[in-house]
Amino acid sequence: MASNIELIIFDGGSPSAYLPAGAAVVPLLHGLFGIPVTDELLASLPAGTNDDRVHPGWILKQQVCSLAQDLSARRRVLYVAGETFGGRGCQEAVGWNDSQLVYGPSGTCDGESDRADGYRVVHRADSAINAGLRIIGVRAADGLDEYGSAGLDRHRFTSDWLSK
């Protein structure tokens, strides 16, 4: 089964002052919200700064990192991206709290065959997204990891968040 997800996750109310026109905010679980990173959102953002922490070739995008950092004023924000195919795959995450970088960028994968420059091979429980969610306060519920506990397992593709 395949998946491809890219979201900005944040706590607190809607950060409307920082949202570009057309950005959608979707509810997650436990007081979290998400902004699906779509082609339309990307087209509305200025070019990102030249920050060498995000490796060339990664899914994470500089201009989305800049937006996520802006959104993190007085809140916690995690920008996540992940792809799987047949259960295996890769995840990336970077997080801020009150505009300060607190996590990552981190890239992880399930096996050596998926390893990209800057990635670490880890057990799924310690994936970039699960670890980032822990940093912003998400705790795994019984029988779920942080990804499931935040409700990210409800949709496998970014576009599905907008159609539901």
Peptide bond into 56 cis (omega under 30): no
Q: Are 82 and 4 in contact (CB under 8 A)?
A: yes
pLDDT for residue 49 is more than 90: no
Q: What angle do CA 100, 105, 109 make, to 5 degrees?
A: 150
pLDDT at 57: 86
Domain ranges, residue 91:
3-163
pLDDT of residue 50: 63
Q: Please state the domain count of the chain.
A: 1
Identity of the residue numbered 16? S
- pLDDT of amino acid 164: 55
pLDDT tens digit string along 71-124? 999 899 999 999 988 777 899 999 999 999 999 999 999 888 788 888 899 988
The answer to whether 107 touches 162, Cβ cutoff 8 Å, is no
pTM comes to 0.93
Which run of H or E residues covers position 33? strand 32-36
40-54 average pLDDT score: 79
Q: What is the pLDDT averaged over residues 147-162? A: 92
Q: In what order do the strands lie in the sheet with 3-11?
A: 26-27, 32-36, 3-11, 76-85, 88-97, 100-109, 119-121
Task: Give Cα 142 distance to the centre of its chain.
Answer: 23
Q: For a pLDDT cut of 90, what percent of the chain falls above it?
A: 63
What is the three-class DSSP state of 121? strand
